[in-house]
Chains A and B, each alone.
Chain A
């Protein structure tokens, strides 16, 4: 058995696992380890928290609460769990497209959005005492090797859980959802419009405020289009401007000579390049007709 406290302050909290159909049991009992540390943050919303790493499958507030209560109970203490924060087991909310495309529908700035790494979460308690109590209990539970470990009961999804993903969306629900959302959106949009309107004209009547997502401004548009990952590896093509097009290129003798020279140099350069290529191919023995 390993050490229960890691150097960086994490407790390794073991949970025994129940047997599973068709899985051969090994002689040693399987355990799941959850790593827990006290969470320190200045943020108002993240006070009284434990930082949890490696939550078991389909963990929800309910079964977490139940197991932690059990641990506290064994240690004759009480703690009150309030919420499970930033838990995103399947990484479905890693990216919030909505807030990245517009500020209209989201509450806070995308840059200030809080998140924890994958496979971690914050468990929030009602008050400081609860955190302390729970932490103490966990510490004792983790270090006590003789006791019977708590069995973590997984929540197994049924076949219907999986097939229900194929089910049609209830029509009424869909209609309502769309209706509500669009109403909210229109309201927000109107509001935003009004705000822009109010700031657009200053005393002289000249102020222009362009929100960063405004679509009409060409430079911003271009900047966005430069983000296209498909063009990342493409070399930008330089467009000839009108002046270049009109200028005669064979007016002076030096121009002609210059051009000739350039052509020959190009030819040579290409030739040299080809020779290099051949050398490289030879080193890879690409000329063996019998390979």
Chain B
């Protein structure tokens, strides 16, 4: 920082050593002032350098103000009252702010949110003062280190012999024999660098680090020292000598609470630094334990001392034998970056001076990156590496000086923090810096120059590149191709968020930490265990050693290449990270650890659901001209590679994989290729994917265990059967012809818990609902019972004609209970020859009026009940049609939605909640992580989708937030971008055609929610508000959901997420996730039904041999006997709930064939006594519960009698009864 100050104000070349302390002090005191200056809003004297553009900005503002004053004058004419005028003046300033923010920021609220956020993450002033106090002390101590010159390696070894401190030589350690050069210690030039130096540091709970740069004087080096680790060895000795003296001095000055350790800066094994932190809290004035800061003493090389041209990424600087060709990019980068810390600080500082909001934008960038797990670390470390605060700041600085294809400016100095930030995100999202091109810039540009200096060059190096022509540093050297890919995906997602004008995306943008649960961020995580790591170590030869420097880097690179080639477009991006990779080591040690410096490797994938399960990996065609590629292909895939003829006649090299109900194709490919290319015994461990997929009920269909979870053919078969019936029904001759047949069953939208299996009529979802509408008629009876009878008469006509003409179809009638109090609804059930069943109900124009009229005519206390009835009717007959159509339509764009929603339903049923929640509500909640996935990506695996639902439920506050779903297909990133380029007409047409929610619609839904909460602030009546275009009211499905059920859902999700966070995912935890907590209920009744219902529900166990005798092959001759294989417990619980409606909530497993026992013959009923009835009550006639007298007029719930009643009610089914107290 000290030298920064000098450059910024004078630019003269600093004298070494002598000047720095003063400057440091000056800079520090200035930092305290700067904040207060900013608050006062006045510009400091340094602002003389303000650029032309920001001047222009000010002029603009002045003009605005003038205009404003005019307006004020006019107002004054109308109202001459003096204090009125004053009020007007005051507000004119507000108007200014309001206007500005609307233009410069996404919206007013966004700007306010940003301000608030920046305020939140500000470093505490007292903390800064404290750490600075120590920095002064440190500086003094550094001055006291005696110089030490002309030491040979032998001298050095002698010197450190017997001392605590070791020299942290990098590999390979220098040998006394071959080391001719001398080692020295001369006083360094000290300065503050990094974000603390730039003053963009922010508060971080884990603590921030202060980077102090100690630049080694030029005298220590020879010009050729950049070769063969010489400069690094010199530095190691320099650092060790300094460390030794520091540790001695610390003891002397009673600063023993300080802890010194070596650390690999940014995880670069070539850059060892000294890390100073506080061990414990003491009373010393220099103790900064509380601030959580740590200080990195970085030893740098003098800037521009080594010839930068020779250190270009493609040059060789480590000579092994005769080889001076093999490029050593990592080594070269390390040398260059060690010489340019200060240079970059100056560069960024200059930019900061010129650009008012640069600092804020840097902070925003920093937050954005850290929430997504990016850092400046080398990419092989346990994070997304290579792109941290520095890289973000440097990119922004470069873009302020051009960056376009013709060097046009991407960002302007007058931009607001939001605009700057968005500009960088947009650049990252839309511009390719890896394959097709790179960005070049100059970090020593002259600020007065009018020509821009940064330029995008159309020529890619196949590695992420932002190249600084001045220092010859590729800023993105530490970044791997795959972490660049990841960065790009997040930038694209974020750009879509920033472009979203409908929703407030602030929270997803900056506040959500994506890394909290690994399995939520990634679709699949694997742990790679390599027992015979030595085989790989032997492959780490001299050439690899110089090009990759560390074994860790080498193996990550190798692994990344395998994953990339093996999975191609089956994944969108991936990450390779080392587990237990240490970066710090005690000062008594020479290096961090023995090789390998990790225990296992983690591979994390973002899956591309559209491609992930395809069966064939297609290679080059089998033709002469592709012979080379074909060879590569067979080399990579080994035995798996084969030739195949395709439909179009072409013959190509391919690999064929097989799908499975429990495992993904991606897993098997990874496992195969890693075994082939790493070591044969390497183990790819994944504890969760198959565990979760096994929880999905396996349909009793041929080859179902070999069917992918994404395969929907069982649903297509049902739909085909319906289509045949559809044609027949439309050909029927009827008094009123059929206008439409609208399917509303869950199987039509692929969301039924069990897949449709022919003849599996024990499945509660076996009969799939269909709504029939006839031609319009005015003759429908104007009374509800008669209306239902008239409908039934029509259904009878249909039944007659079908039985007559198509005897292969079998029809029967049942009474339908889906609408409360309407006991007259009759449905026609048709069993198709293919083995499926459909349940037809009639909708007329008269129905709605009937239910509304009933509300109107009812006495007041009955109205709520009738309103619920009306909602049920609307949900079942009208909204279900839209719901089914919408979900069926968009589910093709979200391939994992179907298995995820089914698993979620299973989870709900395991926890006895499913019976209490309307199916549609469940499906809407489950689709939230798909249609509104940000900041995460759209789920690409069953577990990921499922866990995202749970984490959403665990964190969502239904009382305060409405869930507003935009049920559309996902935004394609490409589409949106090209539409910007296209003419405005096109984009406006596109907008109109888009089915997305408009701002107005969104606002309407929000007001609906506010209205609802005004009447019911605690959400006692309606907890869930789930709205979409299909249902702007948000309460259609959630009205009847009782509060205890709603809160239980949230509580269970919270417990589940906690469990995963604490114990991770494995067989036990996943089993636990699906185990109901029966102890939470007041009493539990265990039931056993005489006939097992699993097989007849169409479900089999994966490990069981199929018993052909029990295969379902037809419907019984006498349809009456079908009822023997139906679930009596459902009816039982239904009546219990009706009887004890007021006092007890009963729950059970709805899908008896799936949830509880192996055969599907067990169930439980749980009872939850409403809290009101747990204490003594005054006797009332209308209290509606079973009570016994206690004293006087007091009564209490007569539990014994209730238990006896229930016992008598379930007599033939009951096998156990437990009351929990």
Q: How far is the CA of A12 from the CA of B1129 in the complex (A)?
A: 33
List of A residues within 8 angstroms of B789 by Cβ: 177-178, 181-182, 185
In the bound assembly, the distance between CA atoms of A178 and B1172 in angstroms comes to 45
Question: What are 23 pairs between A and B in contact, CB < 8 Å?
Answer: A2-B1188, A26-B1200, A31-B1201, A54-B1185, A54-B1187, A91-B1141, A92-B1138, A95-B854, A95-B862, A100-B784, A101-B850, A117-B1182, A156-B1209, A156-B1212, A171-B813, A178-B796, A185-B783, A230-B1033, A233-B1035, A268-B98, A277-B109, A278-B109, A287-B120
**Residue A165 interfacial (CB < 8 Å):** yes
Asked if residues A20 and B1186 are in contact (CB atoms below 8 Å), the reply is: no
Report A-chain residues with C-beta under 8 Å of the C-beta of B813. Answer: 168-169, 171, 174
Complex Cα gap A111–B861 (Å): 12
Question: Within the complex, what minimum Cβ distance (angstroms) separates B846 from chain A?
Answer: 8
In this assembly, does B1135 line the interface, its C-beta being within 8 Å of a C-beta of chain A?
yes
A6 in contact with B1122 given A95-B866, A182-B789 (CB within 8 Å): no
- Report the bound CA distance from A229 to B1035 in whole Å: 9
Residues of B within 8 A of A225 (CB): 852
Nearest-neighbour CB distance to chain B for A171, whole angstroms, equals 7
A164 touches B1123 (CB 8 A): yes
Contact B1204 A17 (CB under 8 A): yes
Contact A22 B1216 (CB under 8 A): yes
B859 within 8 A of A: yes
B246 interface residue (CB < 8 Å to A): no
B849 sits at the interface (CB 8 A): yes
Best-surrounded residue of B786, B1120, B1131 (most CB of chain A within 10 A): B786
User: Do A169 and B784 touch (CB < 8 A)?
Assistant: no
B1181 x A178 contact (CB < 8 A)? no
What is the distance, in angstroms, from B880's C-beta to the closest C-beta of chain A?
Answer: 14
The answer for the CA separation of A280 and B94 in the assembled complex, in Å, is 20
Contact code string A214-243 (vs B, CB < 8 Å = 1, else 0): 010000010111011111111100000000
B1207 touches A20 (CB 8 A): yes
B786 with A182: CB separation less than 8 A: yes
* Cβ-neighbour of B1213 out of A159, A166, A229 (below 8 A): A159
CB <8 Å contact, A264 and B120: no
Distance of A63 Cα from B341 Cα, bound (Å): 95
Binary per-residue interface labels of chain A (1-42) against chain B in the complex, 1 for a CB within 8 Å, 0 otherwise: 011101110101000011011111010001111010000000
With contact pairs A3-B1189, A20-B1204, A97-B854 given, residues A290 and B785 touching in the complex (Cβ less than 8 Å): no
Q: Are A181 and B785 in contact (CB under 8 A)?
A: yes
Q: Is the C-beta of B444 less than 8 angstroms from some C-beta in chain A?
A: no
Q: Which of B854, B1189, B1212 contacts A2 (CB 8 A)?
A: B1189
Q: Which residues does chain B contribute within 8 Å of A17, judged by CB atoms?
A: 1200-1201, 1204
Q: How far is the CA of A17 from the CA of B786 in the complex (A)?
A: 44
Q: Which residue of A lies closest to B1010 (CB)?
A: A233
Query: Chain B, 121-161, contact with A by CB distance < 8 Å: what is the 0/1 string?
Result: 10000000000000000000000000000000000000000
B792, A274: Cβ atoms closer than 8 Å: no
Binds A, one of B110-118, B414-422, B605-613, B741-749: B110-118
| Cβ-neighbour of B815 out of A31, A53, A169 (below 8 A) | A169
- A95-B858, A213-B853, A227-B855 in contact; A159/B814 too (CB < 8 A)? no
Quote the shortest CB–CB distance from B1164 to chain A (angstroms).
13
CB distance from A237 to the nearest CB of B (A): 9
A235 touches B1011 (CB 8 A): yes
Q: Which of B826-855 contact A (CB under 8 A)?
A: 826, 829, 849-850, 852-855
How close is B1173's CB to chain A, nearest CB, in angstroms?
A: 13
B residues lining the A interface (CB < 8 Å): 71, 74-75, 91, 94-95, 97-99, 101-102, 108-109, 112-113, 116-117, 119-121, 204-205, 367, 371, 507, 510-511, 513, 781-786, 789-790, 792-793, 796, 812-815, 820-823, 826, 829, 849-850, 852-859, 862, 865-867, 869-871, 874, 1004, 1007-1009, 1011-1012, 1015, 1031-1033, 1035-1036, 1039, 1089-1090, 1119-1120, 1122-1124, 1126, 1128-1129, 1131-1132, 1135, 1138-1139, 1141-1142, 1179, 1181-1193, 1198, 1200-1201, 1203-1205, 1207-1209, 1211-1217
- Expressed in whole angstroms, the Cα–Cα distance for A182 and B787 within the complex equals 9
In the assembly, what is the distance between CA of A281 and CA of B117, in Å? 11
**A120 shortest CB reach to chain B, Å:** 6
Does A275 contact B112, Cβ atoms closer than 8 Å?
yes
Nearest CB in chain A to that of B1119: its residue: A168
Q: Are B786 and A105 in contact, with the CB atoms below 8 A? A: yes
Q: List CB contacts (< 8 Å) of A201-216 with chain B.
A: 213, 215
A227 to B1204, CA, bound (A): 43
Interface assignment of A98: CB less than 8 Å from any CB of chain B = yes
A259 within 8 A of B: no
Q: B865 touching A181 by the CB < 8 A rule? A: no
**Is the pair B1126, A163 in contact by a Cβ cutoff of 8 Å?**
yes
Q: A23-B1217, A233-B1008 are in contact. Are A271 and B853 (CB under 8 A)?
A: no
Other contacts beyond A22-B1214, A270-B108: 14, CB < 8 A: A8-B1179, A21-B1214, A32-B1198, A33-B1198, A57-B1205, A90-B1139, A98-B785, A100-B857, A104-B782, A168-B1120, A181-B786, A227-B852, A264-B71, A267-B99
Decide yes or no whether A119 CB sits under 8 A from chain B: yes
Q: With an 8 A cutoff between CB atoms, is A73 at the interface?
A: no
Nearest chain A CB to B365 CB, angstrom units:
13
> Cβ of A102 < 8 Å from any Cβ of B?
yes
Checking A33, A162, A261, A275 against B1128 with a beta-carbon cut-off of 8 angstroms, the contacting residue is A162
Using known A-B contacts A185-B789, A227-B852, A230-B871, determine if residue A287 contacts B117 with beta carbons closer than 8 Å: yes
Would you list the 9 A-B pairs with minimal beta carbon distance, nearest first? Answer: A20-B1207, A102-B783, A162-B1128, A168-B812, A154-B1208, A117-B1182, A30-B1200, A2-B1189, A233-B1011
Chain A: which residue is nearest B1007 at the CB level? A235
Residues of B within 8 A of A261 (CB): 75
* Alpha-carbon gap, A210 to B983, bound state (A): 59
Q: Does the CB pair B1215–A22 fall under 8 Å?
A: yes
Please report A residues at the B interface, Cβ cutoff 8 Å.
2-4, 6-8, 10, 12, 17-18, 20-24, 26, 30-33, 35, 51, 53-54, 56-58, 89-92, 94-98, 100-102, 104-105, 110-111, 117-120, 154-159, 162-169, 171, 174-175, 177-178, 181-182, 185, 189, 213, 215, 221, 223-225, 227-235, 257, 260-261, 264, 267-268, 270-272, 274-275, 277-278, 281-282, 286-291
Given known contacts A166-B1123, A185-B786, A230 and B1007 CB-to-CB distance under 8 angstroms: no
Q: Which residues of B contact A282 (CB under 8 A)?
A: 116
Cα–Cα distance between A233 and B1120 once the two chains are bound (Å): 47
Which chain A residues lie closer than 8 Å to B120 at the CB level? 287-289
Interface pair B108/A234, CB less than 8 Å apart: no
The residue among B116, B1179, B1208, B1209 with the most chain A CB atoms within 10 A of its own CB is B1208
Q: A53-B1181, A277-B109 are in contact. Are A97 and B784 (CB under 8 A)?
A: yes
- Report how far A281 CA is from B119 CA in the complex, Å: 14
A35-B1179, A102-B783, A229-B867 are known contacts. Are A260 and B71 too (CB-CB below 8 A)? yes
CB distance from A195 to the nearest CB of B (A): 15
Give the CA-CA distance A277 to B1006 in the complex, in Å. 14
Q: Distance (Å) between the CB of A64 and the closest chain B CB?
A: 15
Q: Which residue of A lies closest to B957 (CB)?
A: A284
Residues of A within 8 A of B1193 (CB): 6-8
CA distance A115 to B430 in the complex (A): 71
In the assembled complex, the CB of A56 is this many whole angstroms from the nearest CB of chain B, namely 7
In whole angstroms, what is the CA distance A229 to B870 when docked? 8
- Option from B1120, B1204, B1215 in Cβ contact (under 8 Å) with A167: B1120
The answer for the CA separation of A180 and B1204 in the assembled complex, in Å, is 42
CA distance A118 to B866 in the complex (A): 17
A28's nearest neighbour on chain B, judged by CB, is: B1200
Q: Which residues of A contact B790 (CB under 8 A)?
A: 182
Question: Given A6-B1193, A288-B511, does the pair A57, B859 have CB atoms closer than 8 Å?
Answer: no
Chain A residues near B367 (CB-CB < 8 A) = 289
B1204 touches A230 (CB 8 A): no
Contact between B1011 and A228, CB atoms less than 8 A apart: no
A103 to chain B, nearest CB (A): 9
Question: Contact partner of A169 among B204, B513, B814, B1213, CB < 8 A?
Answer: B814
